[in-house]
Amino acid sequence: MKRQRHYQQGRALVICCFGSVVDQARFDALLEQAHKRYPDCEVRLAVSSRMVLNRLSDRELYTLPEQLAQLDRGGYRQILVASCYLYPTEEHQQLKQVVEGFKQFSLSRLAYTPALLQTVNGANSILAALAARFPMEEGVHNLFIHHGAPQLDNAGYNAIWYSQQLLEQLGERNHCCSLEGANPYPLVAAKLKQQLAAAKRVRLIPLLLVSGNHAVNDVVSIQADLQQLTEVEIAAPITSERFCLLDLTAVTETLWKQIDTEFNKLGELA
């Protein structure tokens, strides 16, 4: 096919994330890590949140379709989209649909990675690392807070339920709730307060990749509510200003492993 002669570039990697108005710098740092880890690839970032794109309009940020169109036009023979989403919920499903759509007309070989907590191995690695970082201490309870998804029939809820179940099995004083999805804090607060009544201290652990608006506002609101009951702290930062999962080594290691696996599946450049 004559069109194939125009695909002369090698591999491209697109890290696709939601983005953050408050903490976009953390995704920039991840992009820089990817540049160093994959020096032979064209490495780019795609942002899915239109609010982030609008609020940060002074920056050169692009959606996934925009990045894929540019890479296809540039003639890259292999394009891998790395899903930088924690669970395979709406944003990850949209990523899949975009990639599958581009496969219909692009002569590039396209692929995408699973979400970070989608595979059992990835989930076990990340959740075990979290449990090890916040071990059971006398009188201390951990409350893990994930974002949540709006539709209960979303495929990603299997990963959410598994994460909650495993975290609670890894520690008898581990508890879970969401910000906006199933088991939201406002609805389960009364039950949680019964479980935390004898706690000397409660540690809030946001299951968020970066410390954006939810960490700044919603998690702090939960802290204020529970402080009427006992001492409450938010998980200590790892390397950033506030605690976020992208600073957890197991998270980035899982991302790199998934990228390596999908590149291996794509095979050598023809």
Distance CA 90, CA 94 (A): 6
* Confidence (pLDDT) at 1: 52
* Residue 17 sits in the same domain as residue 88: yes
| 230 and 254 both lie in a single domain | no
Let me know whether 127 and 241 are in one domain: yes
Q: In what order do the strands lie in the sheet with 9-17?
A: 42-47, 9-17, 76-83, 109-112
CATH code of the domain containing 201: 3.40.50.1400
Residues 56 and 132 reside in one and the same domain: no
* Whether residue 204 sits in one domain with residue 139: yes
Per-residue pLDDT tens over the stretch 65-93: 999 999 999 999 999 999 999 999 999 99
Q: What is the per-residue pLDDT across 11-32, written as a single tens digit (0 to 9) for each?
A: 999 999 999 988 899 999 999 9
Residues in the chain: 270
- Whether residue 236 sits in one domain with residue 126: yes
Using the CB atoms, write b or e for 112-135: b if 16+ within 10 Å.
bbbbbbbbeebbebbbebbbebbe
Tell me the sheet residues that pair with 184: 178
Question: What pLDDT does 118 receive?
Answer: 98
83 within 8 A of 64, measured Cβ to Cβ = no
Same-domain check for residues 51 and 87: yes
What does pTM read for this prediction?
0.94
- Output the average pLDDT for the chain: 94
- Residues 106 and 85 grouped into a single domain: yes
**For 147-189, how does the pLDDT look when each residue is reduced to its tens digit (9 = 90+)?**
998 889 888 999 999 999 999 999 999 999 999 989 999 999 9
- Whether the per-residue pLDDT at 214 is higher than 80: the answer is no
- Number of domains forming the structure of the chain: 2
Contact 142, 173 (CB under 8 A): yes
Residue 212 has pLDDT above 80, yes or no: no
Torsion of CA 165, 170, 171, 176, to 10 degrees: -30
- Full domain range(s) for residue 50: 2-117+247-266
- Rounded-to-integer distance, Cα 149 and Cα 140, Å: 28
Domain match, 113 and 193 both: no
Residues 106 and 132 in one domain: no
Q: Is the same domain home to 138 and 241?
A: yes
User: What is the three-state SS of 23-80?
Assistant: CHHHHHHHHHHHHHHCCCCEEEEEECCHHHHHHCCCCCCCCHHHHHHHHHHHCEEEEE
pLDDT in tens, 236-270: 999 988 999 999 999 999 999 999 999 999 998 86
The percentage of the chain sitting over the pLDDT mark of 70, rounded to a whole number, equals 98
- Looking at the structure, tell me whether residues 160 and 80 fall in a common domain: no
